[in-house]
């Protein structure tokens, strides 16, 4: 993953189109965000720069980056030809990060929100990009102490990438329901399964479910409008839950909560990868795909935020309401042929209970937020 912030808008858009035209179809990269913690209290600790310094000269250096606050760290698989490679890299990166953190006296955890640490105590890292976000967004960015899992899938062809994004919009609620891991925030049980999504997608501009676009040209006209009107000054200020990335020729799925469990991170990323490939294949074959208005997809997104995998989602084509698990079972069955082609099929699974459900059940049984989070931050099983 590179940096193209120095380009003018015209140069950025021209380069993005060219890169999509030359993309290596269906390669994949996964990004995971972790909370940086005090090992005794498990509160958020502003120690990212120590991790960054310790990574210098190690195999992790090029795969470790900052992400807004100094109590957060992101690790990246790098571009992978198959999902098997991505799955292996997910385990290796987690192990490398823990090996880096432990001698420093730093603990780590991966849920969509921290259960109790105040956002007022988290320091924004000192980079031009995040200083600019701080200047523009103020409270909106200060409040965003959240942790996600992002999946990039390369798509050849700019118009095809837009068509894939259009189709993925419709399935974002299912992916969120599966990934939900953040019921606790600000020292309360929020009653939500993904408090992260409510905090992030409901506060940031140009976030959540995007509109669909008729072509790359239509998308480009919108981006040019944002630049021309001074609404954005960096392409990264498009924070949608799925987007065509303007620095790499990928479609990026950004809806998912971070995953405390490695196996579930792999399974979630496998579904994101396989779904993207399956949709691209359907587009190539002229297979009809859903294209629902944002207002309808938003109904399902709210259900996923509130009830996660325990709730119900609407079949937006028929109006039928069925369990989120049933939706996901159908989705897994539909993407399975594509999953087999890219090496993702062995990883596909819908858990008996996802991370949010397990935390909620422990809380219902009387466990404190501190006890529950300690179980996630101090796993009994090896991470690789």
One pLDDT digit (tens) per residue for the chain, 384 residues: 344 557 899 999 999 999 999 999 999 999 999 999 999 999 999 999 999 999 999 999 999 999 899 999 999 999 999 999 999 999 999 999 999 999 999 999 999 999 999 999 999 998 888 888 888 889 888 889 999 999 999 999 999 999 999 999 999 999 999 999 999 999 999 999 999 999 999 888 999 999 999 999 999 999 999 999 999 998 889 999 999 999 999 999 999 999 999 999 999 999 999 999 999 999 999 999 999 999 999 999 999 999 999 999 999 999 999 999 999 999 999 999 999 999 999 999 999 999 999 999 999 999 999 999 999 997 554 445
DSSP string covering 96-146, please?
Answer: HHHHHHGGGT-EEE--SB-SS--GGGPPBP--HHHHHHHHHHTHHHHT--B
Which ranges in 310-383 belong to alpha helices (H)? 324-342, 355-364, 369-377
Residue 295 is assigned to a structural domain of this protein: yes
Whether the Cβ atoms of residue 45 and residue 71 lie closer than 8 Å to each other: yes
Residue 51 is assigned to a structural domain of this protein: no
Residue 306: give the domain boundaries: 9-29+126-377
Residue 283 is assigned to a structural domain of this protein: yes
Total domains present in the chain: 1
Residue 83 is assigned to a structural domain of this protein: no
Residue 48 is assigned to a structural domain of this protein: no
Residue-level pLDDT at 1: 37
pTM metric for this prediction: 0.95
Burial class (CB in 10 A: 0-12, 13-18, 19+), 78: middle
Whether the Cβ atoms of residue 210 and residue 222 lie closer than 8 Å to each other: no
Residue-level pLDDT at 134: 87
């Amino acid at each position: 993953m590179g940096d193209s912030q120095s380009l003018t808008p015209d140069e950025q858009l021209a380069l993005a189109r060219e890169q999509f035209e030359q993309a290596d179809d269906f390669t994949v990269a996964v990004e995971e965000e972790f909370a940086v913690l005090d090992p005794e209290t498990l509160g958020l600790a502003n120690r990212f720069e120590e991790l960054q310094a310790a990574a210098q000269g190690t195999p992790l250096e090029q795969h470790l980056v900052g992400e807004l606050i100094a109590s957060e760290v992101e690790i990246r698989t790098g571009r992978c030809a198959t999902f098997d490679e991505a799955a292996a890299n997910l385990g290796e990166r987690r192990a490398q990060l823990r090996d880096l953190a432990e001698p420093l006296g730093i603990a780590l955890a991966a849920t969509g929100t921290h259960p109790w640490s105040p956002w007022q105590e988290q320091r924004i890292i000192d980079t031009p990009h995040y200083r600019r976000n701080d200047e523009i967004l103020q409270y909106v960015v200060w409040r965003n102490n959240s942790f996600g899992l992002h999946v990039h899938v390369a798509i050849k062809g700019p118009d095809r990438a837009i068509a894939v994004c259009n189709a993925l919009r419709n399935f974002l609620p299912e992916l969120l329901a599966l990934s939900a891991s953040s019921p606790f925030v600000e020292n309360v049980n929020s009653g939500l399964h993904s408090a992260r999504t409510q905090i992030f997608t409901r506060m940031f501009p140009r976030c959540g479910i995007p509109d669909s676009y008729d072509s790359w040209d239509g998308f480009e006209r919108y981006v040019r409008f944002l630049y021309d009107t001074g609404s954005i000054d960096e392409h990264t200020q498009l924070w949608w839950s799925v987007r065509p990335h303007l620095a790499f020729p990928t479609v990026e799925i950004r809806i998912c909560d971070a995953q405390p469990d490695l196996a579930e991170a792999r399974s979630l990323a496998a579904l994101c990868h396989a779904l993207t490939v399956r949709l691209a294949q359907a587009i190539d074959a002229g297979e009809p795909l859903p294209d629902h208005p944002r207002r309808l997809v938003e109904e399902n997104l709210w259900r996923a935020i509130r009830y996660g995998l325990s709730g119900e989602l609407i079949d937006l084509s028929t109006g039928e309401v069925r369990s989120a698990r049933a939706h996901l079972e159908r989705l897994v069955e539909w993407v399975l042929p594509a999953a087999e082609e890219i090496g993702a099929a062995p990883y596909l699974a819908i858990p008996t209970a996802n991370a949010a459900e397990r935390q909620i059940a422990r809380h219902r049984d009387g466990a404190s937020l501190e006890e529950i989070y300690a179980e996630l931050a101090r796993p009994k099983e090896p991470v690789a």
